[in-house]
Amino acid sequence: MPMDDDFCDCAEHGPQPITFVCSHIVDRASPETAGFVSFPAEDGDDLRDAWCEACEAYLQENGGEWVEGAVEVPGGIRIICAECYRRREADARLAGRRIVRQE
C-alpha cells in the first residue's frame, strides 16, 4: 500500500489515515488521559485536530483561539493515526475529560 501524505504507518495499527493532535496526547506516558479537546466533528468520520487540557488552558490565556502561525499549542502539533486518535478520545470520554469547544 503506497503511503501518501494522508496516511501513516502506525506501529500498532498499520496504515491509517492521519490526524493531528498536540504532542502531550501523543506522548501520553501512562494510561491516564491528558484530556482531549477539539471543535465538534462536522460528520461522523471527521477527526478534528485535538489538544489536551493543558494546551486548552494555554490557548485560553492567549486569546482563546488557536491561530495558525501565531498562537499555537505548546510543544507543537503532531501526527497520530486515526485509530490511536479514537482510542485516546475514548479514554478521555471515560474519564469525563472529553471537551468539545464551540466555534
Compute the C-alpha angle 7/9/11, nearest 5°: 150
CB of 44 to Zn ion, least distance (A): 19
Q: List residues binding Zn ion (CB under 5 A).
A: 10, 12-13, 22, 24, 51-52, 55, 81, 83-84
Q: Are 76 and 23 in contact (CB under 8 A)?
A: yes
51 or 66: CB nearest Zn ion: 51
72 or 83: CB nearest Zn ion: 83
Kindly calculate the radius of gyration of the chain based on its CA atoms and give it in whole angstroms. Answer: 14
CB of 63 to Zn ion, least distance (A): 17
DSSP character string of 4-23: -TTEEEETTTEEEEEEEEEH
CB of 48 to Zn ion, least distance (A): 15
